[in-house]
Amino acid sequence: MAGTNLTTLVEFILLGFSDLPNFQGFLFGIFLMVYITILIGNGLIILVTKVSRTLHTPMYFFLGNFSFLEICYTSVTLPNMLANLWTNDRHISFLDCSIQLCFLLILGGTECLLLAVMAYDRYVAICKPLYYPLIMNHKVCVQLVVASWTTGIPVMIGQTYQVFSLPFCDSNKLNHVFCDIPPLLKLACSDTSVIELSVYVVAVLFVMIPFLWIIRSYVKIIITILKLPSNTGKHKAFSTCSSHLVVVVLFFGSATITYSRPKTNNSGGTNKILSLFYTIVTPMFNPMIYSLRNKEVIGALKQLLAK
């Protein structure tokens, strides 16, 4: 133990779905279709929000950025998962694992903040409609997006450094589909209580606070909507918010459960399923959730496809 250092471990083995040897080809096909769906669906959202003039509003500006984020977020993990399933080579170097975790944390933190920004946008649009063009002008929108993308970078780099400063001397087999904090902490052969505490602190800053902000925004939105005299107005207001709420529940729910118990026993299978929700399921359903319930997006897509 005293002589153990980072040079004793040069790679990890991602076990992934190795316990299902007869389904490797099937899983590869499923995840490949999911990845293609994510790229096409979110790519169309980005394109249509850029091309269609009717969608040049703050809500769709944030939606376009969110779709781009989903493509980046998924691309951190899914290509490597596909390669592992296709080649059955589950080795990942120490450096590659740390880079994957760092980008996963940075983009995950960005998603939390961007979802909070989108909730604030809906709050201003519904609760303060007369001031909406003034408050959510283009400069403010750009600043909010830039802040969402950059705020977590130093924090997440520090979090990654903390995790990979641990000595891994018992095993290099990660019971997960990609490099993530909970399975990495299980492999550490030293006390991880300090790092677990830092994980909780970061989770509060980048998950809990944005989530509470979203809840606060929607409480005020619902109160305002219920005061509207017209049922048509109520339906329209609810329809513009319900899509965002579905994405919030999917992403925050699965991520919170996973990171609220970083080193629990016998939870490898559960963590795999939950991790797929916030890294794959949400990005896949994002275009469907936002477009199927939005007549403006559907109309813009039809015009784009017609051209």
Confidence band of 239 (pLDDT split at 50, 70, 90):
low
Query: Is the overall model pTM greater than 0.85, yes or no?
Result: yes
Cα-based distances in Å from 181 to 109, 199, 238, 248:
14, 9, 37, 22
Q: Using one digit for the tens of pLDDT, what is the confidence trace for 195-236?
A: 989 988 998 899 889 999 999 998 898 888 888 776 666 666
Q: How crowded is the C-beta side of 277, counted as CA atoms within 13 Å?
A: 19
Mean of the per-residue pLDDT values for the chain? 84
Amino acid at 176: H
Return the pLDDT at 6.
44
Nearest to 208 by CA among 246, 273, 260: 260
Residues linked to residue 91 through DSSP beta bridges, in sequence order: 13
What six digits make up the tokens of 170? Answer: 């018992």
Q: Mean pLDDT over residues 60-73, rounded?
A: 93
Return the pLDDT at 266.
45
Share of the chain above pLDDT 90, in %: 35
Q: If DSSP codes are grouped into helix, strand and coil, which group holds residue 91?
A: strand
CATH numbers and ranges of domains, the chain: 10-306 (1.20.1070.10)
Q: If DSSP codes are grouped into helix, strand and coil, which group holds residue 166?
A: coil
Q: Using one digit for the tens of pLDDT, what is the confidence trace for 249-284?
A: 878 877 777 666 555 554 556 777 778 877 888 888
Confidence band of 4 (pLDDT split at 50, 70, 90):
very low
Cα-based distances in Å from 94 to 91, 168, 189, 242:
10, 11, 16, 42
* Cβ 100 vs Cβ 68: under 8 Å: no
Confidence band of 7 (pLDDT split at 50, 70, 90):
very low
Instruction: Report the Cα 182 to chain-centroid distance in Å.
Output: 17
Can you tell me the distance from the alpha carbon of 78 to that of 142, in angstroms, rounded to the nearest whole number?
Answer: 29
Q: In the chain, which ranges are continuous DSSP H helix?
A: 24-51, 58-87, 94-127, 132-135, 138-150, 153-164, 181-187, 193-203, 209-226, 231-259, 268-276, 282-292, 295-306
Q: Mean pLDDT over residues 94-107, rounded?
A: 93
Q: How crowded is the C-beta side of 213, counted as CA atoms within 13 Å?
A: 18
Return the pLDDT at 237.
65
Residues linked to residue 14 through DSSP beta bridges, in sequence order: 174
* Cβ 283 vs Cβ 74: under 8 Å: yes
* Cβ 15 vs Cβ 176: under 8 Å: yes
What six digits make up the tokens of 104? Answer: 């996963």
Can you tell me the distance from the alpha carbon of 124 to that of 107, in angstroms, rounded to the nearest whole number?
Answer: 25
Nearest to 69 by CA among 115, 36, 137, 121: 115
What six digits make up the tokens of 281? Answer: 């399921």
